[in-house]
Chain A
């Protein structure tokens, strides 16, 4: 939507500083590999059309070239990070649970690693100026299930353990967090949003929330850990409580 650059609908991916420093080469490798399809396309575009009779055709095709460039870069980034993610998942499959917030804990370390791998495609997804193939398309590659006709382009959705049904409306700037940091514990838990739910602007869903069908969650409220919102009811507050 008309978000300024600071409020793009990126995924929340805080990464531990030690992991961030160590794995810069992998991050750069993903960026470089994702530029390969774009550069091949540009090479042939210029090779075939930058000649004496074709200059005007080059000029008239340039806008389409730009749109293609944006999407090829995005698809390339998604594919490369998808492959890296598969390798990381072979070593350790992502599981829910409560872990130590310490790099010696394998689950916490691999969660950070997965976030580094996903960072670049998620960044491109959020800064894409065109409204097609954005959040829903990209997040589906990383295992987030999002149904038909649900609006999720202006929300911060975590890229793991999320399931969203059909016809869901997620409000402006609301956040879906499947991870929580409580002192020295690190929590990963699934969030399920069923069909026809309506979630207001600036809501925060904490890990373990289950939102049943046709639930309405008022604006500016947050749901507590492991809370279950019952079918066809209205909730709001800090944390969300049943109103009607």
Chain B
């Protein structure tokens, strides 16, 4: 089966999908814990606000009633709401990272291909569903670095100054170097579901790489430093992309050399000159 998956017929397909299991209910637990933490952190604040508007107390907290405090409490509502959003998201991320680490201890993640309903299949699905909601939240936050932080918490090695805004990235077995840029609508898969098999292999993206728009990075791809994957192309399983070259193709089969802007301008001017001479 290993040889069949690495066979060319299968390399052409790269589908990602994860089935819903009863373990998916963990999302409700994550939501519950995150909301309870944010509510309890805010009880005294809402208690004070309630007192200022209605002169009644919900919870027995000490209250200082002065005009300055009243104005302050109302003016700081926007900051409080913003803080709530952060507290909610990051408490859920931290909680689910703990569960993710426990699952990792129970069954350390391995590369290879596994049958349906084997132990690895089950644990990969469990890990996926623990990472689902926190990363959804981090992606929904209006901050570009929140999702990179979330991915780092889950154990991906992501370097500094990485551009990773608009694309799908699996939560395990991915390494991305410093200064790498990924573009719009990309998929970086480290897993692949094929008939009744699950196939996992590590993806390694080096330093200062560029992953173009609308590309698929298949499991097992190794991009060396400064390699470029062109727009609208995809790699096949276990492919190596050499450094300092542009790789294009469906799947990748063409290498193009890098050019500086001055070089290409010189070439263009040469062609123009010759064509002018021909006309004359």
Q: Which residues of A contact B (CB under 8 A)?
A: 1-7, 55, 59-60, 62-64, 66-67, 129-132, 149, 151, 154, 169-173, 198-202, 216-221, 234, 236-238, 243-244
B70 in the interface (beta carbon within 8 A): no
Note all chain A residues with C-beta closer than 8 A to B15. 169-172, 198-201, 219
B193 in the interface (beta carbon within 8 A): yes
Judging by beta carbons under 8 Å apart, are B234 and A220 in contact? yes
The count of residues in chain B whose C-beta lies closer than 8 Å to any C-beta of chain A is: 50
Q: Which residues of B contact A (CB under 8 A)?
A: 9, 12-20, 24, 27-28, 31-32, 35-36, 39-40, 43, 58-59, 129, 131-133, 135-137, 139-140, 147, 165-169, 171, 185, 187, 189, 193-195, 214, 216, 232-234, 250
- Which of A66, A170, A219 interacts with B216 by CB under 8 Å? A219
Tell me the nearest residue of chain A to B138, going by C-beta.
A2
Judging by beta carbons under 8 Å apart, are A131 and B12 in contact? no
Closest chain-A Cβ to B159's Cβ sits at a distance in Å of: 19
Q: Would you call the interface of chain A mostly helix, strand, loop, or mixed?
A: loop
Q: Would you call the interface of chain B mostly helix, strand, loop, or mixed?
A: mixed
Note all chain A residues with C-beta closer than 8 A to B35. 62-63, 66
In the A-B complex, the 10 residue pairs with the closest CB atoms:
A218-B12, A151-B17, A171-B15, A63-B35, A63-B32, A2-B135, A200-B13, A219-B14, A172-B16, A4-B139
Most chain A beta carbons < 10 A, residue from B17, B43, B232: B17
Note all chain A residues with C-beta closer than 8 A to B9. 234, 243-244
- Which of B32, B40, B59, B232 interacts with A220 by CB under 8 Å? B232
Judging by beta carbons under 8 Å apart, are B16 and A2 in contact? no
Q: Give A132 to B165 CA distance when docked, in angstroms.
A: 25
Closest chain-A Cβ to B199's Cβ sits at a distance in Å of: 13
Instruction: Knowing that A1-B168, A216-B13 touch, tell me 6 more A-B residue pairs with CB under 8 angstroms.
Output: A4-B167, A172-B16, A201-B187, A202-B216, A234-B13, A236-B12
Note all chain A residues with C-beta closer than 8 A to B166. 4, 6-7
Judging by beta carbons under 8 Å apart, are B216 and A220 in contact? yes
Q: Give A236 to B8 CA distance when docked, in angstroms.
A: 12
Tell me the nearest residue of chain A to B56, going by C-beta.
A52
Tell me the nearest residue of chain A to B40, going by C-beta.
A59
Note all chain A residues with C-beta closer than 8 A to B39. 59, 62
Note all chain B residues with C-beta closer than 8 A to A131. 20, 24, 27, 129, 132
Note all chain B residues with C-beta closer than 8 A to A63. 28, 31-32, 35-36
Q: Give A237 to B234 CA distance when docked, in angstroms.
A: 12
Judging by beta carbons under 8 Å apart, are B250 and A220 in contact? yes
Judging by beta carbons under 8 Å apart, are B187 and A2 in contact? no
Judging by beta carbons under 8 Å apart, are B17 and A2 in contact? no
Q: Give A6 to B133 CA distance when docked, in angstroms.
A: 17
Closest chain-A Cβ to B47's Cβ sits at a distance in Å of: 10
Q: Give A244 to B214 CA distance when docked, in angstroms.
A: 26
Note all chain B residues with C-beta closer than 8 A to A6. 166
Judging by beta carbons under 8 Å apart, are A67 and B12 in contact? no
Judging by beta carbons under 8 Å apart, are A7 and B185 in contact? yes
Q: Give A170 to B250 CA distance when docked, in angstroms.
A: 19
Judging by beta carbons under 8 Å apart, are B16 and A201 in contact? yes
Tell me the nearest residue of chain A to B34, going by C-beta.
A63
Interface CB pairs A-B, < 8 A, 17: A2-B136, A59-B36, A67-B31, A129-B137, A130-B27, A154-B168, A169-B15, A171-B15, A172-B17, A172-B168, A199-B15, A200-B13, A201-B187, A217-B13, A219-B15, A236-B12, A243-B12
- Which of A172, A199, A238, A243 interacts with B187 by CB under 8 Å? A172
Closest chain-B Cβ to A235's Cβ sits at a distance in Å of: 9
Judging by beta carbons under 8 Å apart, are B136 and A202 in contact? no
Q: Give A203 to B129 CA distance when docked, in angstroms.
A: 25
Closest chain-B Cβ to A46's Cβ sits at a distance in Å of: 13
Known: A7-B168, A219-B234. A198 touches B185 (CB 8 A): no
Q: Give A64 to B31 CA distance when docked, in angstroms.
A: 9
Known: A200-B14, A220-B232, A236-B12. A2 touches B132 (CB 8 A): yes
Q: Give A5 to B166 CA distance when docked, in angstroms.
A: 8
Known: A2-B136, A7-B166, A220-B234. A202 touches B36 (CB 8 A): no
Note all chain A residues with C-beta closer than 8 A to B193. 169
Note all chain B residues with C-beta closer than 8 A to A130. 27, 133
Known: A2-B135, A201-B216. A218 touches B58 (CB 8 A): no
Judging by beta carbons under 8 Å apart, are A132 and B216 in contact? no
Judging by beta carbons under 8 Å apart, are A173 and B31 in contact? no
Known: A2-B136, A63-B32. A132 touches B167 (CB 8 A): no
Closest chain-A Cβ to B161's Cβ sits at a distance in Å of: 19
Note all chain A residues with C-beta closer than 8 A to B27. 129-131
